[in-house]
Amino acid sequence: MKMIEEIQGPDGQPGYQHVLKLATALVEVRSLQGLSDTRVDRLILLWDRLPEQDKRRVVYPPRHRERLHTGRFKAAKGKNTSCPGKESLQRCLLGQTSGPASWPSTSRLVEAICSQLCRLHPAATRFGGTTRTRWSLILSDYVAIREAVLASPRLMAQTDIQLFELNQRTLSQW
Domain membership flag for residue 1: no
Helix (H) or strand (E) holding 55: helix 52-55
Domain membership flag for residue 76: no
The domain tally of the chain equals 1
pLDDT tens for 64-103 read: 556 555 666 655 555 555 556 555 544 444 444 444 556 5
Domain membership flag for residue 8: no
How far is 62 from 17, CA to CA, in rounded Å? 32
Domain interval for residue 158: 16-55+97-173
How far is 70 from 67, CA to CA, in rounded Å? 9
pLDDT tens for 6-40 read: 555 555 566 789 989 999 999 999 888 888 999 99
Number of helices and strands (H, E) in the chain?
8, 2
- Residue 126, classed as helix, strand or coil, is strand
How far is 131 from 127, CA to CA, in rounded Å? 6
Domain membership flag for residue 27: yes
pTM: 0.69
More confident residue, 163 or 99: 163
Which residue from 44, 19, 46 is spatially nearest to 152, judged by alpha carbons?
44
